[in-house]
Structure 1
Amino acid sequence: MDNIQNKGVDFTKLQGATLIATFFSLWLAVYFEHDIENLLAYILILSFGMLHGANDIKLLQVEAKKKSKPYDFLRILAYYIFFVLSVAGLFYLLPSIALGLFILFSAYHFGEQHWISKISGNPLFLIFFYTAYGLVILFLLFAAHNTEVSDIIFDIIGIYINNGYYQIILGISFFVFVVLYLTKYKQSNTNIFLELFYLLVFFIIFNTASLLWAFAIFFILWHAIPSLGDQITYLYGDLSRKHFIKYVRSSLIYWLASVSTLVILFFFIDGSSDGFIPFLFSFLAAITFPHVLVISGLNKN
Structure 2
Amino acid sequence: MKNYNINIPNIRNISIVATFLFLWMAIFFEESIENIFAYLLILTFGLIHGANDIKLIEKVEVFKKANFFIVLVYYILFILFNCLLFYFIPSVALILFVLFSAYHFGEQHWLSNMKEPSIIRSLFFLSYGLFIFFLLFKAHSAEVNEVISTITGVVFSTQFYASGLIFSASLVVLLFVVINFKKNVFREIVKELFLLFVFFIVFNSASLLWSFAIYFILWHSIPSLVDQIIFLYGNFSKSSIKKYIKASFFYWLMAVIGLVLALFFLKDTMEESLALFFSFLAAITFPHVLVINKLNHS
User: By the TM > 0.5 criterion, same fold?
Assistant: yes
- 2:261 is matched with which residue? 264
**Which 10-residue stretch deviates more, 266-275 or 14-23?**
266-275
- 1:238 is matched with which residue? 235
Q: State how far apart, in whole Å, the 2-side matches of 1:51 and 1:125 are.
A: 31
Q: State how far apart, in whole Å, the 1-side matches of 2:145 and 2:169 are.
A: 21
**TM-score when normalising by structure 2:** 0.95
Please give the per-residue CA displacement for 1:76-128, whole angstroms capped at 9, x wherever unaligned: 10110111111111111111111001000000000000001112454311221
Q: State how far apart, in whole Å, the 1-side matches of 2:235 and 2:167 are.
A: 39
**Alignment length, in residue pairs?**
296
- 2:179 is matched with which residue? 184
Contact persistence 1:229–1:239 (CA under 8 A)? yes
Contact persistence 1:52–1:227 (CA under 8 A)? yes
**TM-score when normalising by structure 1:** 0.94
Please give the per-residue CA displacement for 1:166-222, whole angstroms capped at 9, x wherever unaligned: 110110100001000001114686611211111111000000111111111110000
**5+ residue gaps in structure 1?**
none
Q: State how far apart, in whole Å, the 1-side matches of 2:9 and 2:267 are.
A: 41
Picking from 10, 16, 19, the partner of 1:13 is 10
The alignment status of 1:136 with 2:137, answered yes or no, reads: no
**Which 10-residue stretch deviates more, 67-76 or 208-217?**
67-76
Q: Structure 1 residues 250 and 163 mapped into 2: Cα distance closer, same or farther (>3 Å)?
A: same
Contact persistence 1:120–1:188 (CA under 8 A)? no
C-alpha RMSD over aligned residues:
1.7
Picking from 58, 65, 82, the partner of 1:87 is 82
Contact persistence 2:229–2:240 (CA under 8 A)? yes
Q: State how far apart, in whole Å, the 1-side matches of 2:233 and 2:5 are.
A: 10
Q: Structure 1 residues 88 and 150 mapped into 2: Cα distance closer, same or farther (>3 Å)?
A: same
**Which 10-residue stretch deviates more, 183-192 or 94-103?**
183-192
The alignment status of 1:294 with 2:288, answered yes or no, reads: no
User: Secondary structure at 1:270's aligned position in 2?
Assistant: coil
Contact persistence 1:96–1:157 (CA under 8 A)? yes
- 2:54 is matched with which residue? 57
Q: State how far apart, in whole Å, the 2-side matches of 1:171 and 1:203 are.
A: 14
Counting only pairs closer than 5 Å after superposition, residues 41-190 of structure 1 correspond to structure 2 as 41-64=38-61, 69-185=64-180, 186=182
Q: Structure 1 residues 73 and 25 mapped into 2: Cα distance closer, same or farther (>3 Å)?
A: same
User: Secondary structure at 2:272's aligned position in 1?
Assistant: helix
The alignment status of 1:249 with 2:246, answered yes or no, reads: yes
**5+ residue gaps in structure 2?**
none
Q: State how far apart, in whole Å, the 1-side matches of 2:125 and 2:59 are.
A: 26
Residue 113 of structure 2 aligns to which amino acid in structure 1? K
User: Secondary structure at 2:66's aligned position in 1?
Assistant: coil
User: Secondary structure at 1:277's aligned position in 2?
Assistant: helix
